[in-house]
């Protein structure tokens, strides 16, 4: 009956308004393989879904390539920009060079909200809870004690009308451990899942057997075209992993896709409009090429990435010629002659941070920022977030460059409130050419309440990485390129002009010991007191319940007999 009725109604409704344009969506996927100076290999996956529709209007509810879970989140909570990174390990900028995209160890989340959001804190809390559910991460531990609102370090990366920093929230959970359970939901957001395209390489057993693993989600509004009259939404899913091929490959620096991922590529994701693998084959030290990649790349391109001219061998998985000769693509790289690894090029900007001092009362955080550029000075914005249980003494803040005090041109300091919010210290520091700047600040360790200690408190407390954002002058001039055409790894951060490029670096997270009480003490006290009380009770009880009666003196104990024997010897009458 019901079926017939429905059929009738559908026939009645055959005519109606025409379809609305839901917007085009495209997917681009790419993999960048770059051999690192120390012999490791970094693999950076980027999947970009671009949707020519305005998520904010709320009218959009029909999803194709863009994942519904994230789209609804953006629409429901008034998110303008969302950046989430889950990282295991630390990117060693000094030896590995400038990363395409670095993230601090643990979980990092920063979000710009729409100006229409009235209660940003509530939306932030709700957002972190939902993301925690989507990515199976403990983002629900983000609360006011680890959330800050930076004023200068984090600018919107996408389209933005104003930059009222009250709409920004930033939090890092340095203790977060990233593993398979975070990777699986991340892969599920890809239109092709891990069934086709570059994502087939993402096998957890290999990815987590690495020196560095970082997966991220970036959502931002971008210009739909050059005229920028309409907004498109971009979802970038990036995954960076560093394999130590040198030690696992018995001292050989040669690698292949199969060696790294135990998989090879067989096809592109059928939904992708672009699917490419890039291999960084830039010659080092202007010498002749030392590397040999097989099979022959479909094309070789030169690009200026982070102020450096680089050469990439590109494989286009969508070109039909690639899979003609062999059914699968296994990119291999061989070094023509053993390379001298002593002459590592140091990146222009890098930093190092440590905690010093002794005892459990005070300490000092020192940050060393290096500018190795031979002749150009540039400013850097340093962001420090320190939890409230380290009480920073701001009067001890010293910044020393080349033996002289370096006065920051901008300082924003928000003191912590116990159990409410962390310290936030932002400084704009000028780094002279070829210099090391040392920033130190002393702190006192606070005593926590016994319920506030995390499990295993003797492991220490993590202090999240400090963030360095800088426009680094480039060695060679960059020309303006069409963002839509250039490889994805060049285009997340906007380049301001041709002479400099944007770099965001994270220092090491710190591990600080706090005075920890003996957690078994309450129980020990209870045991001790109870024992004392029980002993007293026992003797009183005995006193009260025992019946006393006189006893005839017997022959006496052992002592008496012993005394009598001695007396006998002495000839004295016994007792």
Partner 1 sequence: QVRLAVPVAVVFAPGSVPGDLPRPLPFRDVEEMEISVNVRTSVTSQYEMVYRGTTAQEEAALDAATAREADAALHPLQDSSLGSLTVYVVPETSSLLPQGISVYVGKHRSALVRAGGGLAALRMRLRQLTQVMSFTASSIASVLSDRVPDGQLGPDTRRHLKSSLGYEITFSLLNPDPKSHAVHWDIEDAVNRYVQPVLDKLSLVANFSVDSQILYYAVLGVTPRFDKESSSFLLSAHSLPHVINPVEARLGSSAASLYPVLNFLLYVPERSHSPLYIQDKDGAPVNTNAFHSPRWGGIMVYNVEAPASPQASLPLHVDVDMVRVMEVFLAQLRLLFGLSREELPPEFLLESPGNEGLADWELDRLLWAHTMENIATVSTTLTSLAQLLDKIGNIVIKDDVASEVYQAVASAQNAVAELAVGHLHLAFQASKKAVTSSERAFFDPSLLHLLYFPDDQKFAIYIPLFLPMAVPILLSLAKIVRETRQRKKEPTKMD
Residues that bind partner 1 (CB under 8 A): 1-10, 12-14, 16-20, 22, 61-65, 67-69, 72-73, 76-77, 130, 133-134, 188, 191-193, 195-196, 267, 270-271, 523, 526-527, 530-531, 533-535, 537-538, 541-542, 545
Q: Which is nearer to partner 1, 69 or 483 (CB)?
A: 69
Rg (CA), the chain: 33
Q: Where do the H-state alpha helices sit in 443-508?
A: none
Q: Which is nearer to partner 1, 413 or 541 (CB)?
A: 541
Which of 232, 237, 318, 231 is CA-nearest to residue 273?
318
Q: How far is the CB of 22 from partner 1 (least distance, A)?
A: 6
Q: Which is nearer to partner 1, 393 or 523 (CB)?
A: 523
Which of 193, 175, 151, 195 is CA-nearest to residue 381?
151
Q: Which is nearer to partner 1, 13 or 558 (CB)?
A: 13
Q: How far is the CB of 90 from partner 1 (least distance, A)?
A: 31
Q: How far is the CB of 55 from partner 1 (least distance, A)?
A: 12
Strand order in the sheet with 168-173: 147-148, 168-173, 106-113, 79-88, 212-223, 231-243, 41-51, 25-35, 274-280, 308-316, 299-305
Cβ pair 137, 177 in contact under 8 A? no
Which residues are bridge partners to 301 per DSSP? Answer: 312
Q: How far is the CB of 12 from partner 1 (least distance, A)?
A: 5
Q: Which is nearer to partner 1, 8 or 301 (CB)?
A: 8
CA distance linking residue 52 with residue 222, whole number of Å: 9
CA angle, residues 244, 249, 252, in degrees to nearest 5: 100
Q: Which is nearer to partner 1, 19 or 549 (CB)?
A: 19
Q: How far is the CB of 258 from partner 1 (least distance, A)?
A: 23
Q: Which is nearer to partner 1, 142 or 279 (CB)?
A: 142
Which of 442, 364, 382, 384 is CA-nearest to residue 148?
384
Q: Under DSSP, is residue 525 helix (H, G, I), strand (E, B) or coil? A: helix
- Other beta carbons less than 10 A from residue 302's beta carbon: 10
CA distance linking residue 414 with residue 209, whole number of Å: 40
Residue carrying the six token digits 């006290």: 525
Q: How far is the CB of 374 from partner 1 (least distance, A)?
A: 51
Q: Which is nearer to partner 1, 1 or 251 (CB)?
A: 1
Pairing of strands 274-280, 349-356: unpaired
CA distance linking residue 386 with residue 381, whole number of Å: 16
Q: How far is the CB of 70 from partner 1 (least distance, A)?
A: 9
Q: Which is nearer to partner 1, 193 or 357 (CB)?
A: 193
Cβ pair 552, 559 in contact under 8 A? no
Q: How far is the CB of 126 from partner 1 (least distance, A)?
A: 8
Q: Which is nearer to partner 1, 20 or 550 (CB)?
A: 20
Cβ pair 263, 200 in contact under 8 A? yes
CA distance linking residue 429 with residue 407, whole number of Å: 7
CA distance linking residue 437 with residue 329, whole number of Å: 47
Residue carrying the six token digits 């060049």: 490
Query: What distance separates the 2 farthest-apart alpha carbons in the chain?
Result: 138
Q: Give the distance from CA 245 to its chain's centroid.
A: 23
Q: Could you tell me the CA-to-CA distances from 354 to 68, 69, 223 in Å, in that order?
A: 42, 40, 41
Cβ pair 450, 429 in contact under 8 A? no
Q: Which is nearer to partner 1, 195 or 402 (CB)?
A: 195
Q: How far is the CB of 539 from partner 1 (least distance, A)?
A: 9
Q: What tokens were used for 209?
A: 């057997």
CA distance linking residue 396 with residue 393, whole number of Å: 6
Q: What tokens were used for 429?
A: 């520091």
Q: Which is nearer to partner 1, 533 or 572 (CB)?
A: 533
CA distance linking residue 178 with residue 237, whole number of Å: 16
Q: How far is the CB of 185 from partner 1 (least distance, A)?
A: 9
Q: Which is nearer to partner 1, 521 or 530 (CB)?
A: 530
Q: What tokens were used for 456?
A: 């295993």
Q: How far is the CB of 545 from partner 1 (least distance, A)?
A: 6
Q: How far is the CB of 527 from partner 1 (least distance, A)?
A: 4
Q: How far is the CB of 54 from partner 1 (least distance, A)?
A: 15
Q: Could you tell me the CA-to-CA distances from 133 to 20, 146, 154, 219 in Å, in that order?
A: 33, 19, 25, 18
Q: Which is nearer to partner 1, 130 or 397 (CB)?
A: 130
Q: What tokens were used for 568?
A: 């006998």
Q: How far is the CB of 64 from partner 1 (least distance, A)?
A: 5
């Amino acid at each position: 009956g019901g079926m017939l009725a429905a059929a009738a109604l559908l026939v009645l409704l055959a005519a109606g308004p025409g379809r609305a344009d839901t917007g085009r969506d495209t997917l681009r996927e790419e993999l960048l393989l770059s051999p690192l100076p120390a012999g490791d290999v970094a693999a950076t996956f980027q999947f970009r879904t671009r949707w020519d529709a305005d998520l904010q209007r709320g009218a959009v509810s029909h999803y194709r390539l863009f994942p519904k879970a994230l789209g609804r989140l953006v629409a429901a909570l008034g998110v303008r920009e969302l950046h989430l990174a889950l990282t295991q390990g630390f990117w060693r900028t000094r030896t590995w060079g400038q990363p395409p995209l670095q993230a601090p160890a643990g979980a990092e989340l920063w979000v710009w909200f729409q100006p229409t959001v009235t209660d940003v804190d509530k939306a932030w809390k709700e957002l972190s809870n939902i993301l925690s559910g989507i990515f199976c991460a403990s983002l629900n531990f983000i609360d006011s004690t680890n959330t800050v609102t930076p004023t200068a370090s984090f600018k919107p990366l996408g389209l933005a009308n104003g930059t009222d920093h009250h709409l920004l929230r930033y939090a890092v959970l340095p203790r977060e451990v990233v593993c398979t359970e975070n990777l699986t939901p991340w892969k599920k957001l890809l239109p092709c899942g891990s069934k086709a395209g570059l994502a087939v390489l993402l096998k957890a057993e290999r990815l987590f057997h690495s020196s560095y693993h970082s997966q991220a989600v970036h959502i931002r509004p971008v210009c739909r075209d050059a005229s920028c009259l309409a907004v498109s939404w971009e979802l970038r899913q990036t995954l960076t992993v560093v394999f130590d091929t040198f030690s696992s490959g018995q001292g050989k620096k040669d690698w292949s896709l199969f060696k790294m991922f135990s998989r090879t590529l067989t096809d592109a994701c059928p939904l992708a409009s672009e699917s490419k693998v890039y291999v960084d084959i830039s010659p080092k030290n202007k010498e002749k090429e030392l590397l040999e990649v097989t099979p022959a790349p479909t094309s070789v391109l030169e690009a200026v990435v982070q102020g450096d001219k680089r050469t990439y061998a590109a494989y286009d998985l969508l070109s039909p010629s690639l899979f003609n000769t062999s059914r699968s693509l296994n990119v291999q790289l061989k070094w023509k002659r053993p390379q001298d690894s002593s002459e590592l090029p140091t990146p222009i900007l890098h930093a190092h941070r440590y905690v010093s001092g002794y005892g459990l009362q005070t300490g000092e955080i020192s940050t060393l920022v290096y500018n190795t550029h031979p002749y150009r000075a540039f400013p850097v914005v340093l962001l420090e977030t320190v939890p409230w249980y380290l009480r920073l003494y701001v009067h001890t803040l010293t910044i020393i460059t080349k033996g002289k005090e370096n006065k920051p041109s901008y300082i924003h300091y928000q003191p912590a409130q116990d159990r409410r919010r962390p310290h936030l210290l932002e400084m704009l520091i000028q780094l002279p050419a070829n210099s090391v700047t040392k920033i130190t600040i002393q702190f006192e360790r606070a005593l926590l309440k016994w319920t506030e200690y995390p499990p295993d408190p003797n492991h220490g407390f993590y202090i999240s990485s400090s963030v360095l954002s800088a426009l680094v002058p480039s060695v060679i001039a960059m020309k303006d390129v069409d963002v839509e055409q250039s490889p994805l790894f060049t285009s997340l951060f906007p380049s301001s002009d041709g002479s400099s490029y944007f770099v965001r670096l994270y220092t090491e997270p710190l591990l600080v010991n706090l005075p920890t009480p003996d957690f078994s003490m309450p129980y020990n006290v209870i045991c001790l007191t109870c024992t004392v009380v029980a002993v007293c009770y026992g003797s009183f009880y005995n006193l009260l319940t025992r019946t006393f009666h006189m006893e005839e003196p017997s022959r006496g104990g052992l002592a008496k007999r012993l005394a009598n024997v001695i007396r006998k010897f002495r000839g004295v009458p016994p007792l």
